Amino acid sequence: MTDKTDAHHSRDDGLPDPVMEGPGLFGDAAPAVPAPASPPQNTSPYRVLARKYRPTTFDDLIGQEAMVRTLRNAFALGRVAHAFMLTGVRGVGKTTTARIIARALNCIGPDGNGGPTADPCGVCTNCVAILNDRHPDVLEMDAASRTGVDDVREIIEATRFRPMQGRMKVFIIDEVHMLSRNAFNALLKTLEEPPAQVTFIFATTELRKVPVTVLSRCQRFDLRRVPQADLAALFARIAEKEHVRLSEDALALIARAADGSVRDGLSLLDQAIAQGEDEAEIGASVVSDMLGLADRQVVFDLLDAAMTGKPDQALALADAAHARGADLGLVLGDMLDLIHTISRLRAVPSLRDSAEMPEAERVRGTEMAEAFPVPVLMRAWQMLVKGLKEVEMASDRRAAADMVLIRLCYVADLPSPEDLVRRLSGQGGAPAPSGAQGGAAGPEGNAPSALSEARSDGGRSGGQEGPPPLRMVAGTSVTTSAPAVASAVAVQEPEADATPSPEPEVVAAPEPQGPVVPRTWREAVALVKGRREALLHGNLRNGVHVVSFAPGAITMRMQPGLPADLPRQFQKVLESASEMPWRIRLSQEEGEPTLDEQGAEIIQFQRRTAQAHPLVKAILAVFPDAELGDVQDHALDEYGLPPEEPPELVFAPLDAELLDEDERPSDPGLSID
């Protein structure tokens, strides 16, 4: 039989036997507890860099000089507000600033006799308690988890009592925009007239969701994103304190990925230090692998290959980046960011000497800015923006990214519309190249012969007059497989002068004040449109042939299917507008074509004229799949007809007097015997 005592002390769960602490039940001495054989070297838990290096004074804040200057002056003048609203993106120091303000309000100095100051001592009881998050008068509330009106009522009830230890009661409400509407309403009265010993500090990332009634009762500070240069310098100082070496490129990558957030950057720095623990210096390659980015030089090489039309090199670089673990969607985003940098370097040449710009952007970015013109950069920007959306929606991100790169390579050698017209017309010498290697002619490679033929046909040789020049009218449609010619179409000019005459300025006609008498058939139909008789106007325009027209009398022929009361409606509109009687007679004579038929005939004539022009022939020869779209001439009216000349009218001077028949002057050359 097993001893009960042995059975009691034997355990099968692998845990150590319990040790009795203190005296025994019957007063016997407590057994001695053996000391641990090897105590742990460091029992304190690890603190992440974002908490370890949290700023404790206003001097430690970076990138917020305007706010720090305002708060320092407020403490120096004794004009500290009773409520603050701190807004900005995540990780720029909103909660940290709130805690510094709380310490500045409650600091009593090392001797215990100090007052509110912008430079808290950090050694008094209030400063130490606030730093350790255990001060009874500094209360922090997360509005994301406590959004109700009851939570706000607890705060309002607490404002009725005086501070227990410090000088001021400070209520810090983080993510205040998450409070409900009723909670905001309950806070308004206390926020407007708080007790003298109470200060509210609100922090939010969504300022637009905070009611304006709350904003008007607070002193607002907008904490801006920290510049990349300041972030990189801060990370370098922290790495030195942690006895870790990071290259400048690695620090620049972390600062760029932080996107202006100090906390995000410190978290990435913490991760980078853990990634390169066994290395003497943490380089950019380690950080790139950690962030899923491609090396910066790889992005330059990839963009250069795509912009110069080298799909084999572009895809090889993309495959190598993907093999190293880079996300091709992020790689395309880096290319988009690089195009933005290159465009800025081209638009603002002084940036090439800026110390804040990394060395790679200053050297290779300047070279690309000089090689690629602005239209090419804008085209690549638009294609990458659209391509990024496609990558995000595609089931296979890598395949979608490859297709975007192939598309960029395909359009790299296409000239811009301006260069194409200049090349085809032979004007202005050699066209500017659209890429680093110059614009290739076309996909088939037969452009030189077609262009030379166009120049030989379209030029002036032997003193013979060539075809009239063409005017490029934007906004017309040309259906073609080449996007370079899809933005313009040729329209025949009436004269072939070397210097085109300026277009007459179109001035809106004033509203008629009196009766309006149409002088032609077209004016009569347009008058119906001006009276907003849409159905009548459409019938007159498409189905009525005018036989004769005179002010007050119209003879016309109607096509079958038109309303029988059309003449009466037409007569009513004309008499209302002209305030004179009109007579409309129907006839079976042929009459003139309808206004639509006349306009269609002119459009077909202009289309045949444009198709016969040597420049259009050259374009169709270079792009066999192209089709000539609608030919537009802005000199024509809405019916597609040229402006008509109304019948000439002779008007007497305004001051002329009516003469009788006997008072009219006679011809001095005639004499009556």
Mind giving me the DSSP string for 599-610? HHHHHHHHHHHH
Q: How confident is the model at residue 282 (pLDDT cuts 50, 70, 90)?
A: confident
Q: Which of 52-66, 469-483, 595-609 has the lowest mean pLDDT?
A: 469-483
Residue 246 · residue 235 · CB < 8 Å: yes
Angle value at C-alpha 95, between 94 and 98, nearest 5 degrees = 90
Summarised one tens digit per residue, pLDDT across range 245-280 is 888 888 888 888 888 889 999 999 988 888 866 667
- Tell whether the model's pLDDT for residue 200 goes beyond 90: yes
Do the beta carbons of residue 615 and residue 458 sit within 8 Å?
yes
Are residues 135 and 164 in contact, defined by beta-carbon separation less than 8 angstroms? Answer: no
CA 600, distance to chain mean position in Å, is 43
Question: What is the pLDDT at residue 81?
Answer: 92
Distance of CA 372 to the CA centre of its chain: 22
The residues, ordered by sequence, that sit 6+ positions from 265 with a Cβ below 8 Å of its Cβ are 91, 231, 234, 235, 254, 255, 257, 258
Tell me what pLDDT residue 417 has.
Answer: 67
Interval 52-75: pLDDT, tens: 899 999 999 998 999 999 999 999
Dihedral of alpha carbons 644, 645, 649, 655, sign? positive
Contacts of 533 (CB under 8 A, 6+ apart): 569, 573
pLDDT band at residue 432 under the 50/70/90 scheme? very low
| pLDDT number for residue 202 | 94
Check if the beta carbon of residue 272 is closer than 8 Å to that of residue 100. no
Top-level CATH class of 521-598?
alpha beta
Fold type of domain 228-291: Helicase, Ruva Protein; domain 3 (1.10.8)
At residue 558, the 3 state secondary structure works out as strand
Measured from the Cβ of residue 242, the count of other Cβ atoms closer than 10 Å reads 15
Mean pLDDT confidence for 427-445? 42
Taking the CB of residue 428, how many other CB atoms lie within 10 A of it? 12
Going from N- to C-terminal start, the domains of the chain cover 49-222, 228-291, 296-411, 521-598
DSSP state for residue 362 in the 8-state scheme: I
Number of helices (H) and strands (E) in the chain: give both, helices first: 26, 10
Q: Which two tokens stand for residue 179?
A: 């409070």
More confident residue, 498 or 243: 243
d(CA 354, CA 306): 27
In the structure encoding, which two tokens stand for residue 332, read together? 């395309």
Average pLDDT over residues 330-342: 90
The secondary structure of residue 486, as a DSSP letter, is T
Cross-strand bridge partners of residue 553: 550, 583
Give the per-residue pLDDT at 339.
Answer: 93
Q: How many CB atoms lie within 10 A of CB 39?
A: 7
The 10s digit of each residue's pLDDT in 110-168 is 888 888 999 999 899 999 999 888 999 999 988 888 888 888 898 899 898 899 988 99
Which token pair is 49?
């860099």
Give me the CATH topology for the region 49-222: Rossmann fold (3.40.50)
Judge residue 370's burial from the number of C-beta atoms within 10 Å of its C-beta, 0-12 exposed, 13-18 middle, 19 or more buried.
middle
Q: Which two tokens stand for residue 390?
A: 């496609």
CA–CA distance, 128 with 120 (Å, rounded to integer): 10
- Give the tens place of pLDDT for each residue, 340-398: 999 998 888 888 877 667 767 778 888 888 888 888 899 899 999 999 999 999 999 89
Residue 215: count of CB within 10 angstroms of its CB: 13
What distance, in Å, lies between the first and last C-alpha atoms of the chain?
176
CATH topology of domain 296-411: Zinc Finger, Delta Prime; domain 3 (1.20.272)
| Residue 28: both structure tokens together | 């016997």
Q: For residue 277, with 0-12 CB atoms within 10 Å meaning exposed, 13-18 middle and 19 or more buried, which class applies?
A: exposed
What's at 420, amino acid-wise? Answer: L
The structure tokens 């497989």 sit at 481
Mean pLDDT of the chain: 77
Mean pLDDT of 225-254: 89
Task: For residues 365 and 375, give the distance between their C-alpha atoms in angstroms, rounded to a whole number.
Answer: 17
Is the distance from CB of 407 to CB of 601 less than 8 angstroms? Answer: no
User: 122-126, 213-217, 394-398, 540-544: lowest mean pLDDT where?
Assistant: 540-544
Over residues 556-585, the mean pLDDT reads: 87
For the cut 90, the answer to whether the pLDDT of residue 530 exceeds it is no
Range with the lowest mean pLDDT among 179-193, 312-326, 488-502, 577-591? 488-502
CA-based nearest residue to 211, from 176, 170, 159, 171: 176
Alpha-carbon span 210 to 214, nearest angstrom: 7
Q: What confidence score (pLDDT) does residue 293 get?
A: 64
Is residue 79 exposed (0-12), middle (13-18) or buried (19+ Cβ within 10 Å)? exposed
What local confidence, expressed as pLDDT, does residue 501 receive?
A: 47
For residues 446-485, one letter each, b for 16 or more C-beta atoms within 10 angstroms of the residue's C-beta and e for the rest, the string is ebeebbeebbeebeeeeeeeebebbeeeeebebebebebb
Separation CA 357–CA 351 (nearest Å): 8
User: What percentage of the chain carries pLDDT values higher than 90?
Assistant: 23
Report the pLDDT value the prediction gives residue 169, as an integer from 0 to 100.
Answer: 93
> Given a cut of 90, is residue 616 above it in pLDDT?
no
- Residue by residue, DSSP assigns 49-114 as HHHHT---SGGG--S-HHHHHHHHHHHHHT---SEEEEE-STTSSHHHHHHHHHHHHH---TTS--
Q: Number of C-alpha atoms within 13 angstroms, CB side, residue 230?
A: 15
Three-state SS string over 170-233 comes to EEEEECHHHCCHHHHHHHHHHHHCCCCCEEEEEEECCHHHCCHHHHCCCEEEECCCCCHHHHHH
Instruction: Give the span between the Cα atoms of 654 and 232, in whole angstroms.
Output: 83
8 or 304, greater pLDDT: 304
| Gyration radius of the chain's alpha carbons | 42
On the question of pLDDT at 478 being above 90, the answer is no
Q: Which long-range contacts (CB under 8 A, 24 or more apart) does 160-164 make?
A: 160/195, 162/197, 163/137, 163/197, 164/136, 164/137
The pLDDT of residue 112: 84
Residue 85 dihedral angles phi and psi, to the nearest 5° = -125, 110
